[in-house]
Amino acid sequence: MTNATKLLLAAACVLFLLVGVPALIAATGRNDLYYTLTSVALLSIISGGVWLTFYIGRINIGQGAFALLGGYVSAVLVTAYGISFWLTLPVAGLVCALASVLIGLPILRLRGVYFAMVTLTLTEVMRLLALAVPITNGAKGIVSIPLPGGVSLFGLTLIPDFATLENPRLAFYLASVVLMVLCFGALYRLVHSRIGHICLSLQQNEELASSIGVNIASIRVLAYAISSFLGGLGGAMFAAISQSIYPSSFTVADSVNFMLNCFLGGLHYVLGPILGTFALYFGWDLLFQTGVYQLLIFSSALIVLMLVLPNGLLSLRLPRKKGA
């Protein structure tokens, strides 16, 4: 498949998400699907950050901590200081990136298993901090967060005021899809750049990469910072949609799910987190009717899928006919 074909296919997919999906929802009257699909888009962005740490050969089980941090940063800036949500969005990501650099500088020098063990505790540590720090309002959380306001440039409305819209769910869906497209477009460009090739060399053989002059520690920290930036973006958007943020908004279970999304979609594919999030989110809901057996069936299905398709769902190839 040529680059031009890939670009046309990507453009068609984006057009379908931005135009086709809303048209189908309007035709069926299932407005509740907007929140579901918005959640999938945001969860895939957060999982995309986890995927990037896998790309450098590190297991990240602490992404929920940065999603929680990003949500609180945005909520505090909006509610306490009256800053526009759209300005707090990159700020939340940058605060998470800075926090990850401070955390990553010491622990990314450790072997992979130790890094995974340390990240496993991060989400719970962040939850306890949210309970203890006064500005987060403890267990009560931050509620009544205003809907995102409008953005204008030279009298031209770029983003409407969500509070004035008849259907803010559609607006959140479109904003989340655009953010998802931008984030995964950036990830695709990153992994196909020189830095991306260096990251891949770390995954394959760190000693060999070090022997040719690659600064392993710096690349690891950079990748971890980008990963955490994506976690902060997703967490901030979730806080805006729910108009609230609590210490329990993101838990250790969420951090594990972010990791599973990457495994399920495919660790070798940039778009793996999107497909994995979609499959995990809807797969869990479909099994709701099984009652007490839901978790057993779900976990068994995940194990089987990982054994049959170790490279994820995107590694599945339809059999070709002979002579095709």
Long-range CB pairs of 150-154 (<8 Å, 24+ gap) are 151/84, 151/86
Q: d(Cα 269, Cα 311) in Å, to the nearest integer? A: 9
The one-digit pLDDT tens for each residue of the chain (324 residues) are 677 887 888 899 999 999 999 999 999 988 889 999 999 999 999 999 999 999 988 889 999 999 999 999 999 999 999 999 999 999 999 999 999 999 988 888 776 677 888 888 999 999 999 999 999 999 999 999 999 998 888 888 888 999 999 889 999 999 999 999 999 999 999 999 988 888 887 777 777 677 767 778 888 899 999 999 999 999 999 999 999 999 999 999 999 999 999 999 998 899 999 999 999 888 888 887 788 888 888 888 888 888 888 888 888 764 544 443
Helix ranges, the chain (H): 3-15, 21-28, 32-55, 63-81, 85-107, 112-132, 168-191, 194-204, 206-211, 216-242, 252-265, 272-286, 294-308
Pairing mode, strands 156-159 and 151-153: antiparallel
Number of CB atoms found within 10 A of residue 91's CB: 16
Q: What does the block give as tokens for 286?
A: 């479909």
Cα angle value 73/78/82 (rounded, 5°): 135
* pTM metric for this prediction: 0.92
| CA 73/CA 89 separation, integer angstroms | 9
In this structure, are residues 182 and 51 in contact, taking their beta carbons and an 8 Å threshold? no
* CA dihedral of residues 321, 310, 281, 86 (deg, nearest 10): -100
